[in-house]
Amino acid sequence: MSLREEIVPYLTKDAMIANLPGGSSNNDLRYSSEYFLQLYRRNELTSEDIDHFITIISLVRVVGTQALFHTSPGNDTKHVTHDDYILIAACAQKIAPEIAEDIVDQGESSFWLFNNVRPGWPFSLKSWFLRMPHNICHFYFCDPDRKPSQFLKYIWCLNILISANKPKTNQDAWVLTHYLVESARGKDKMCDDWIAYWEKKKESKKIIIGDILNSYFGIIHPIGKNFKERRTNGS
């Protein structure tokens, strides 16, 4: 079976991707982004898939904002966190760059405060993405028209160094850094040098991102089972 066929039991009532068949979770937006990015990497993405991704984003977008999102339509009590946005931006970079632009616009206009539960103020540290500036750098890398500052790139490289020396058991460090790496690849010589360092560490620790995802899901999930780390043409 293809990834597209295997994912059908994991579709929620909102046509998002769940962690378990017939289920739903607070991470459906992240899993949906991972799914569409996998279709892209496998050269299986269609125009209907792009429309599907854009529709999901429009359904979860907080009214009156450019890029504040709920985890699922109407779920306005759960904070969407930085890891969700890392995946949304990584996917948008490849299949819907206007969404990546919206994320940067939203950040620049709000001092990078992404509080979907209570948009704007009062201040929420959990929703303040500037506390992790390497992710801000990632958002700029995903934007087709804007570039990160040199300072942000230094911070990004430092994060890659730190992540490369995390233990194999630190699932989020390896999975999220994988998306940072693939979104930045080829965009800056200094960053590419640190990507090469990260990849050597990853190889030495025998880390396979798809296997980590299956461990994260707790089952052999179609995304983990069919995981492709890069597109055939390397993009």
- Express each pLDDT in 83-100 by its tens digit: 999 999 999 999 999 999
* Nearest CA-CA partner of 29 in 98, 92, 109, 113: 92
- Residue 78 near residue 70, CB atoms below 8 Å: yes
- Structural domain including 167 reads 3-225
Position 110 in a domain: yes
pLDDT digit string, tens, across residues 87-134: 999 999 999 999 999 999 999 999 999 999 988 767 888 899 999 999
Do 213 and 221 form a contact (C-beta atoms < 8 A)? yes
Q: How many CB atoms lie within 10 A of CB 107?
A: 21
pLDDT tens-digit map of 178-187: 999 999 999 9
pLDDT computed for residue 233 by the predictor: 67
pTM of this prediction exceeds 0.85: yes
Residue type, 196: A
Residue 209 lies in a domain: yes
What does the pLDDT read at residue 77? 85
Phi and psi torsions of 61, nearest 5°: -65, 135
Q: Indicate the burial class of 3 (C-beta count within 10 angstroms; 0-12, 13-18, 19 or more).
A: middle
Contacts of 115 (CB under 8 A, 6+ apart): 68, 79, 124, 127
Domain count, the chain: 1
pLDDT digits (tens, 9 = 90+) for 38-76: 999 999 999 999 999 999 999 999 999 999 999 888 888
185 within a domain of the structure (yes/no): yes
Do the domain assignments include residue 235? no
pLDDT band at 203, cuts 50/70/90?
A: very high
Decide: 146 and 156 in contact? Cβ < 8 Å: no
Contact between 40 and 94 (Cβ < 8 Å): yes
User: What percent of the chain lies above the pLDDT cut of 70?
Assistant: 98
CB 57 within 8 A of CB 65: no
